[in-house]
Amino acid sequence: MLATLLAAMDQTIVATALPRIVGDLHGFNQLSWVITAYLITSTVTIPAYGKLSDLYGRRRMFVVSISIFLAGSALCGLAGSMGALIAFRALQGVGAGGLLPLSQAAIADLFSPRERGRYQGLVGAMWGTAAIAGPLVGGSLTDSISWRWIFFVNLPLGVVALVVVMRTMRRGGRVREHRIDWAGAAALGVGITLILLASSWGGTSAPWGSATVIGPAAAGVGLVVAFVLIERRAPEPLLWLGLFSDRVVSLASIAGALIGAVMFGVTVYVPVYVQGVQGASAISAGLALLPLSLCWSVASAVGGQLVARTGRYRWLPILGSSLVLAGFVLLSRIGAGSSRTVIALDLVVIGLGMGAMVQVYMVAAQNAVAPARIGVTTAALQFFRTIGGSLAVTGLGALLASRVTAELTHRLGAPAHGIDPNRLLQGGAHIPPSLLHGTREALASAMHSVFLVGIPIAVAMLVVALMLPERPLRRTLDTPADDTE
């Protein structure tokens, strides 16, 4: 729970302060990379943490993960440029890659699948708690002191988590002769990075059909294919592909990617709307996310209890994805004149839907595998969640940047060329009053395109939920005979 709180607090705090950060460091076109750099490294390291924790034990890898995360947090707070901040966020992500999957795997080590829903619900409530506290703390620090303190605040919380893990967690793990799949890790890391670079460049710094975009995209896809081939032949693969022969695990992985896309899409771009279109402060952007956070937390805790009591889980993802779809339909209808009450109601619906299903997929997948596979299974689901978040943040960032440019030109004509979008995220400072209204209208129209993308993602989530089979949740930690590689 402490590790989950640490990871979630960082993500929710940064999302709230992001408009101010890119405004101060003049990096509007690099907005998504403050999040994406973190997600890339955390995504690539997730399978490694899962594999190594099965070999060495959760405790040892927890200590490594938290320590790297704290070092990255301190450096982010000291960053003097956008490039430095992005680099240090990448380092922070290396540590963050272990926080969530290791906490989920630790819960699976302790409790049976039937009981696990109750505790997974509490872990999910930690995310909800962070989602409440993070935006408020981040907004307050950004408005009253500096956005740099959103990174420094991780240090005391991380030290507490580190001490508790070292003093209370069993060492566990039996070190055995093993080989680390370095080739697979390299192919996956470089491949994902190239795909995300192509996504961020397309339609902004280069046309979609240009060699600048197609080249990295093709190379990235080729490396991902190479990763799959490497994993099929590696003696100890980074990501054991046999997991996906189970229907529950494969569907939970797809759902994880879609959930990540929704989660990061909302928490990153709703604050951009509130601060850029409505001209609100960072603390106001944090308050705007409060309905999402509260409802997510409540739905997660209640859903976990219901799963533990009834042993049935399939209905929750169906209900949750239906609510998310309804929420995005409503969110896509907001404009420059929409009130915060309307936005709050939209986020209530999305928050209830997300909270109802996020932990359920984890419980269902862990229930489907043998104990020896829990670490790598948990890491795989978290891996796909961060992959979905990475692609969503990067793709939506590119969409937003290109749509803002087009909308400014359409609405303002020649004067649009002198408008710096970074100023818009600083409350409209230094934008002529005669152009401010049109500039905010342009950003609102661009944000409409961003929120509209959430609708097909939510439809896909509903389809996956309907395909998920219902399996009895075991009441013990025992499982059928372990599968073999």
Q: What is the mean pLDDT of the chain?
A: 81
Residues 400, 272 share a domain: yes
Kindly give, in sequence order, each residue whose CB lies less than 8 Å from that of residue 146, ignoring residues fewer than 6 positions away: none
The predicted-structure confidence for 371-388, as pLDDT tens digits, reads as follows 777 777 877 887 888 788
* 400 close to 268: Cβ distance less than 8 angstroms: no
Nearest-10 crossing angle of helices 247-276, 454-467: 160
Question: Does the pLDDT value for residue 156 go beyond 80?
Answer: yes
Question: Is the residue at 473 inside a domain?
Answer: no
**How many structural domains is the chain composed of?**
2
Question: Is the residue at 484 inside a domain?
Answer: no
Question: Does the pLDDT value for residue 482 go beyond 50?
Answer: no
Structure tokens at 331: 């969110």
Residues 207, 103 share a domain: no
Question: What is the arithmetic mean of pLDDT over 427-442?
Answer: 69
Question: Is the residue at 224 inside a domain?
Answer: yes
Residues 209, 70 share a domain: no
Name 206's bridge partners.
202
> pLDDT exceeding 90 applies to what percent of the chain?
20
Give the pLDDT score at 418. 57
Domain that holds residue 55: 2-169+236-467
Question: Does the pLDDT value for residue 485 go beyond 50?
Answer: no
* 360 close to 469: Cβ distance less than 8 angstroms: no
The predicted-structure confidence for 182-198, as pLDDT tens digits, reads as follows 888 889 888 888 887 88
* 50 close to 375: Cβ distance less than 8 angstroms: yes
Residues 224, 337 share a domain: no
Question: Does the pLDDT value for residue 310 go beyond 60?
Answer: yes
Residues 225, 84 share a domain: no
Residues 298, 203 share a domain: no
Give the pLDDT score at 235. 81
Question: Does the pLDDT value for residue 414 go beyond 70?
Answer: no
Residues 22, 129 share a domain: yes
* 274 close to 280: Cβ distance less than 8 angstroms: yes
115 or 432, higher pLDDT: 115
Question: What is the arithmetic mean of pLDDT over 354-374?
Answer: 84
Question: What is the arithmetic mean of pLDDT over 434-440?
Answer: 74
Least confident of 284-288, 301-305, 330-334, 413-417: 413-417
Residues 393, 375 share a domain: yes
The predicted-structure confidence for 93-140, as pLDDT tens digits, reads as follows 899 888 877 887 777 777 777 677 677 777 767 776 776 777 778 888
Question: Is the residue at 350 inside a domain?
Answer: yes
* 320 close to 465: Cβ distance less than 8 angstroms: yes
Give the pLDDT score at 304. 80
Q: Which residues of 131-144 are buried (b: 16+ CB within 10 A; e: fewer)?
A: bbbbbbbbbbbbbe
* 384 close to 254: Cβ distance less than 8 angstroms: yes
User: Of 211, 235, 259, which residue sits at a domain end?
Assistant: 235
User: Of 214, 235, 256, which residue sits at a domain end?
Assistant: 235
Cα–Cα distance between 397 and 18 in angstroms, integer?
12
Give the pLDDT score at 29. 64
Residues 348, 222 share a domain: no
Cα–Cα distance between 276 and 369 in angstroms, integer?
46
Question: Does the pLDDT value for residue 303 go beyond 90?
Answer: no
222 or 115, higher pLDDT: 222
Cα–Cα distance between 229 and 223 in angstroms, integer?
10
Question: Does the pLDDT value for residue 218 go beyond 70?
Answer: yes
Give the pLDDT score at 478. 55
Estimate to the nearest angstrom the gap between the alpha carbon of 89 and the chain centroid: 14
Structure tokens at 355: 């909270």
Q: Which of 448, 450, 449, 437 is nearest to 408 (CA)?
A: 437
Question: What is the arithmetic mean of pLDDT over 16-42?
Answer: 76
Question: Is the residue at 483 inside a domain?
Answer: no
CA distance to 99, 441, 480, per residue, from 108 (Å): 15, 49, 16
Question: Is the residue at 474 inside a domain?
Answer: no
Residues 261, 129 share a domain: yes
Question: What is the arithmetic mean of pLDDT over 284-297?
Answer: 83
The predicted-structure confidence for 240-267, as pLDDT tens digits, reads as follows 788 888 999 999 999 999 998 998 888 8
Nearest-10 crossing angle of helices 374-412, 99-110: 140
The full 3-state SS of the chain, as one line of letters, equals CHHHHHHHHHHHHHHHHHHHHHHHCCCHHHHHHHHHHHHHHHHHHHHHHHHHHHHHCHHHHHHHHHHHHHHHHHHHHHCCCHHHHHHHHHHHHHHHCCHHHHHHHHHHHHCCHHHHHHHHHHHHHHHHHHHHHHHHHHHHHHHHCCCCHHHHCHHHHHHHHHHHHHHHCCCCCCCCCCCCCHHHHHHHHHHHHHHHHHHHHECCCECCCCHHHHHHHHHHHHHHHHHHHHHHHCCCCCCCHHHHHCHHHHHHHHHHHHHHHHHHHHHHHHHHHHHHCCCCCHHHHHHHCHHHHHHHHHHHHHHHHHHHHHCCCCHHHHHHHHHHHHHHHHHCCCCCCCCHHHHHHHHHHHHHHHHHHHHHHHHHHHHCCCHHHHHHHHHHHHHHHHHHHHHHHHHHHHHHHHHHHHHHHHHHCHHHHHCCHHHHCCCCCCCCHHHHHHHHHHHHHHHHHHHHCHHHHHHHHHHHHHHCCCCCCCCCCCCCCCCCC
Question: What is the arithmetic mean of pLDDT over 193-206?
Answer: 77
> pLDDT exceeding 70 applies to what percent of the chain?
87
Least confident of 194-198, 205-209, 458-462: 205-209
Question: Does the pLDDT value for residue 75 go beyond 80?
Answer: yes
Question: Does the pLDDT value for residue 150 go beyond 70?
Answer: yes
Cα–Cα distance between 289 and 268 in angstroms, integer?
10
Residues 245, 228 share a domain: no
Residues 226, 98 share a domain: no
Question: Is the residue at 476 inside a domain?
Answer: no
469 or 475, higher pLDDT: 469
Question: Does the pLDDT value for residue 169 go beyond 70?
Answer: yes
- pTM for this one? 0.76
Question: Is the residue at 277 inside a domain?
Answer: yes
CA distance to 51, 292, 423, per residue, from 288 (Å): 39, 8, 21
Q: Which residue has the tokens 């101060």?
A: 24
Structure tokens at 218: 């093709």
Give the pLDDT score at 430. 59
Kindly give, in sequence order, each residue whose CB lies less than 8 Å from that of residue 469, ignoring residues fewer than 6 positions away: 247, 248, 314
Cα–Cα distance between 440 and 471 in angstroms, integer?
50
Give the pLDDT score at 278. 81
The predicted-structure confidence for 44-67, as pLDDT tens digits, reads as follows 787 778 777 777 778 888 899 999
Name 202's bridge partners.
206
Q: Cβ of 224: how many Cβ atoms within 10 Å?
A: 16
435 or 298, higher pLDDT: 298
Q: Cβ of 245: how many Cβ atoms within 10 Å?
A: 9
419 or 185, higher pLDDT: 185
Domain with residue 164: its CATH number is 1.20.1250.20
Question: What is the arithmetic mean of pLDDT over 283-310?
Answer: 83
Q: What angle (nearest 5°) sits at the alpha carbon of residue 225, between those of residues 188 and 92?
A: 15
* 373 close to 482: Cβ distance less than 8 angstroms: yes
Question: Does the pLDDT value for residue 391 go beyond 60?
Answer: yes
Task: Return the biggest CA–CA distance within the chain.
Answer: 72
Question: Does the pLDDT value for residue 31 go beyond 80?
Answer: no
